[in-house]
A and B are shown apart, each in its own frame.
Chain A
């Protein structure tokens, strides 16, 4: 993975010093609260419901064991012994003290980490496929591109006071595991059909929030060398023309929608044509320098199938089921990418204690070339595990409550922190997730139902990605009472789709019943081997709406 050179190191240290000075200038009155706020946000410090919250960037979701141990230490020393992994591959601490923030930033800098631009109206932490470098369907590793963008977007002189926040995601595989179509810019590495060179497909204007939109392709095949100049052109058009009169209409998706994708593309291309690419883009040596850090580790030559693993599976059905559900095939024979679920029934989705972080760090160091990943689905990944080591890992994870076999299943729920923590929330999310998990706790039943993504947001801002959940749940507040709106048919993959609302909002305690009815319709209607989302695509929303009305009527 990427290692800081002297420049990166100095940049992050100078950023800590800068923020320390900004805090001092706020305290002595040089800066007003209004002026200080965006500076604080651009260093990841939020004022939440009960306390300050610190959001730490985990660029494109890649971590090593030393970094995760440092996060564990910070959690223990400055928080309540746990952290929360978010849907944007960040980590949040919910209880730090403002006066401790500079010290925490220093500890992060010690392990090549930071909180830069994890909030504010700027280019946010760049995310990527959590199986980058590992997935069998990958055309090219997206992380060198993401790292180049991380550096380019850090303290950008022109694009640090944008109309609104700006999120970029990159994938290099056929299957989209980075939800690129729901990002302000989505980048996909693909091969040009004629030249066979890898190029970028650039989409702009995706986003969730109160006006969900799927990104539109503005360039089918951008030569790789032109990336930064092209991004500069997009950002300049947005910075100049994005709406600033209404914060709810300020995202680039609204600009793209209002002037049309064609006109937006025309303006970007016109700006791009004015730019002197070679004076803006990273030269090929720089691109190669970054890419070299992401070279595959030295895999052992192993047979494609491990007899040790097969024997352990045969002897232990619970282990076999966990392997079945939580691992995916790996590029290297004899290896696998293992997802560690942070969704045991009844726990806040995405939370990990400092102890659990240390255990996972130890496992990464011992079994996964010292590397791990954070997924947008709020789980952790050991990306390079020998199949024959899985049993030992499973046993150790089990002791720490981390061996839940539910990745991609109905209890692997994505959820924002909701009204339990968040100042923006209009309803609770975590307790809803927990209630659904309890309802579907039986693992055999979960496997019987198969892949089903439930995503919960506690307000219209949609941090829980509910619009692109197979089942989406949006918590609102109506006359002082929490009300939950259910959507169906959303999709976060390369077939990105926004879910449709099934009917009137439900009370919190009615939600598990409603989910149950939806699942029953699916189980009755599905054909052999057909997944939940495929059944919806085939039969439409009608039968689900009818069943949903019954829930609503039963409740009324």
Chain B
């Protein structure tokens, strides 16, 4: 399936496995149901990722995070925003691996997804065919700054920029 990151199209190095038989696939993405089994079978040079439904509680996932290199969160529909909160919680816990949104998102959600901690978007063929990569890159730049602190980069945050402007004004006054 087509994959995007903040720079555009990207090669997917991950191979999906339906069951727990992960053989010697170097980077394997397994379903949530078989994660425990897959981790038991993990080879030393093998990296494992998991695809979770968006109703998994963060507390259920947390114990596995240190052993995962990828968490893919399913978006059953673009209108189901649970994945945004889940990604936030995973990032907050210090997870440094890749977080992926997997499902029929729309380009207008790209900036939101990145701000909440996602690195990549994995789209169904049909969504990707209708929405060329350039639309995603354009939509990502719709707003030069946003109001919520703690999401994305602080130099694109209105409150942080106002604060910086106040500090500059103070220095100038001295």
Provide the main secondary structure of the chain A interface: helix
CA distance A29 to B139 in the complex (A): 16
Within the complex, which residue of A18, A155, A161, A289 is in contact with B146, where a contact is CB–CB below 8 Å? Answer: A155
**Contact assessment for A236 and B142 in the assembled complex, using a CB-CB cutoff below 8 Å:** no
Q: Is B158 an interface residue (CB 8 A)?
A: yes
Q: Which of A1-46 contact B (CB under 8 A)?
A: 5, 7-8, 10-11, 14-15, 17-18, 21-22, 25, 29-32, 35, 38-39
Contacts of B142 in A (CB 8 A): 14, 17-18, 21
Interface pair B147/A152, CB less than 8 Å apart: yes
**B143 and A14 contacting across the interface, CB-CB below 8 Å:** yes
Instruction: Find A22's partner among B108, B161, B166 (CB 8 Å cutoff).
Output: B108
Partner-contacting stretch, out of A280-288, A337-345, A381-389 = A280-288
Kindly list chain B residues whose C-beta atoms are within 8 Å of the C-beta of A239: 81-82, 84-85
Complex CA distance for A10 and B92, rounded to whole angstroms: 30
The residue from A8, A21, A31 contacting B130, defined by CB atoms under 8 A apart: A31
List, in ascending order, chain B residues with CB within 8 A of A155's CB: 143, 146-147
**B contacts with A, residue count (CB < 8 A):** 44
B20 at the interface (CB under 8 A from A): no
For B111, the closest partner residue in chain A by CB is A157
Q: In the assembly, what is the distance between CA of A154 and CA of B107, in Å?
A: 18
In the complex, what residues of B have CB within 8 A of residue A409's CB? none
* B 125-147 binary contact with A (CB < 8 Å = 1; else 0): 00000111001001100111111
Tell me what chain B mostly uses at the interface: helix, strand, loop, or mixed: helix
Q: List the B side residues contacting A154 at CB < 8 Å.
A: 147
15 contacts between A and B (CB under 8 A): A7-B158, A11-B147, A18-B139, A25-B135, A29-B130, A156-B148, A158-B88, A158-B116, A159-B81, A161-B81, A239-B81, A244-B80, A280-B150, A286-B163, A289-B162
A173 within 8 A of B: no
Interface check B86, CB cutoff 8 A: yes
Q: Is B147 a contact of A236 with CB atoms below 8 Å?
A: no
A7, A276, A281 — most chain B CB neighbours (10 Å): A7
With A7-B162, A281-B149, A286-B163 given, is the CB distance from A35 to B81 under 8 Å? no
Chain A hits for B147, CB < 8 A: 11, 151-152, 154-156
B80 touches A157 (CB 8 A): no
Check A121–B79 contact: CB distance below 8 A: yes
- Not counting A157-B113, A158-B148, A285-B166, a sample of 12 additional A-B residue pairs whose C-beta atoms are within 8 angstroms of each other reads A7-B161, A8-B158, A10-B144, A21-B139, A151-B158, A152-B148, A155-B146, A157-B84, A157-B152, A161-B78, A244-B82, A282-B149
Q: Report if B151 contacts A (CB, 8 A).
A: yes
- Residues on A lying within 8 angstroms of B by beta carbon are 5, 7-8, 10-11, 14-15, 17-18, 21-22, 25, 29-32, 35, 38-39, 121, 151-152, 154-162, 228, 236, 239-240, 244, 274, 276, 279-283, 285-286, 289
A39–B146 Cα distance when bound, in Å, is 18
Q: A229 → chain B, closest Cβ, in Å?
A: 9
B115 at the interface (CB under 8 A from A): yes
User: Can you list the 10 inter-chain pairs with the closest CB atoms, starting with the nearest?
Assistant: A161-B81, A157-B115, A157-B112, A7-B158, A18-B142, A158-B84, A151-B147, A239-B85, A280-B150, A279-B150
Contact A161 B106 (CB under 8 A): no
Is B39 part of the binding interface, using a Cβ–Cβ cutoff of 8 Å? no
Hey, which chain A residues are within 8 Å of B151, CB to CB?
A: 157-158
Complex interface: chain A residues within 8 A of B143 (CB): 11, 14-15, 18, 155
Taking the complex as formed, is B159 at the interface, i.e. its CB lies under 8 A from any CB of chain A? yes
